[in-house]
Structure 1
Amino acid sequence: MISGDKRLLAERWFSEYFTEGNLDVIDELTTEGFIYHSRNGENSRRSMVDFMKWYRSVFHDDVWVLDDLIEQGNKLVVRYTGWMTYKGGWFDIPSENQRVKETGIMIFTFEGSKVKEMWCENSDAGILYDLGALKKNTHEVF
């Protein structure tokens, strides 16, 4: 059973932060010392705001589904699927208003009722493939 507070936070993360692009919600949902662990190192709340400004300029009309939520102690794991329309601005990939799909897993670590740390693994390569930035039929997809 997932606690209501953690489920609500995950729902707000996707609906208010991603879909609406509400930058203020980051301060509401995360601790002051929040860290997002990415392949490029550690990122702060400010990095998340900067990312969303870029994201909203590149993708529109998001729809997100929280496929699975798994809670253990102070962690919540969310497996998600999202669909969005590409409007241009990513690696000089031309826009044809392509509808693309992203899948991923986020792991939120809570301190009290807020997120202290987050990890995310997603399907950016799949999106690049859908947008034609990666050549088709050059590798097997399983």
Structure 2
Amino acid sequence: MTSMVELERLSSKVVSEAIVRRFWNRVWNAGQLEILKDLVAENCTFYCGGNPIESRANLIEWIKQFREKIDDFKFITEDLFAYNQKVVTRWRIQGFNNGFCDNYSSGEPIELTGITIFKLEGNQIKKGWIEKS
């Protein structure tokens, strides 16, 4: 029989996974930046390659600029693992260069891969560590 502690841990895991899936699918794939107010804490901190992105407002601007530089932007979640309020994802981005990378000519197909670790507090993302190729 499952204990109450195990049920609470399972519930936390399921909620954390659902929040991160919404972050990837609705925000990154669909470009619905307005729902970040529900998913991400106002005083969040994300690190991309060790560089901090502090606050929800700065994260919104960073995502917006990132997506604008890749035409036909497509985000694919390869793996997603959760334990309590930490979630790890391995992902891939596909699209066409529109100023994202100087190594590619405009309109050339590009693909990025990466891993992101999220730390949630309550039902919002509080921290994130993004490493991309």
| Coarse TM-score class (shorter-chain normalised) | 0.7 to 0.9
Q: Secondary structure at the match of 1:24?
A: helix
Structure 1: distance between partners of 2:102 and 2:74: 23
Q: Secondary structure at the match of 1:3?
A: helix
Q: TM-score, normalised by structure 1?
A: 0.73
Kept in 1: contact 2:36–2:56 (CA 8 A) = yes
Structure 2: distance between partners of 1:89 and 1:80: 18
Cα shift readout 1:28-85 (whole Å, capped 9, x = no counterpart): 1011221112322342211111112212321122222222122223211111112122
Structure 2: distance between partners of 1:23 and 1:36: 16
Q: State the aligned residue count.
A: 122
Distance 1:75 1:33, change over 3 A: same
Structure 1: distance between partners of 2:79 and 2:103: 34
Larger relative contact order (Cα-Cα within 8 Å, sequence gap ≥ 6): 2
Return 5+ residue gaps in structure 1 as ranges: 124-142
1:106 is matched with which residue? 116
Q: TM-score, normalised by structure 2?
A: 0.78
- Residues 1:4 and 2:10 are matched in the alignment: no
Letter in 2 for 1:6: S
Structure 2: distance between partners of 1:9 and 1:101: 25
- Residues 1:32 and 2:59 are matched in the alignment: no
Structure 2: distance between partners of 1:37 and 1:15: 20
- Residues 1:65 and 2:76 are matched in the alignment: yes
Shift, 1:6, TM fit: 2.1
Return 5+ residue gaps in structure 2 as ranges: 1-9
**Which has more helix, going by share of residues?**
2
1:85 is matched with which residue? 96
Structure 2: distance between partners of 1:77 and 1:69: 6
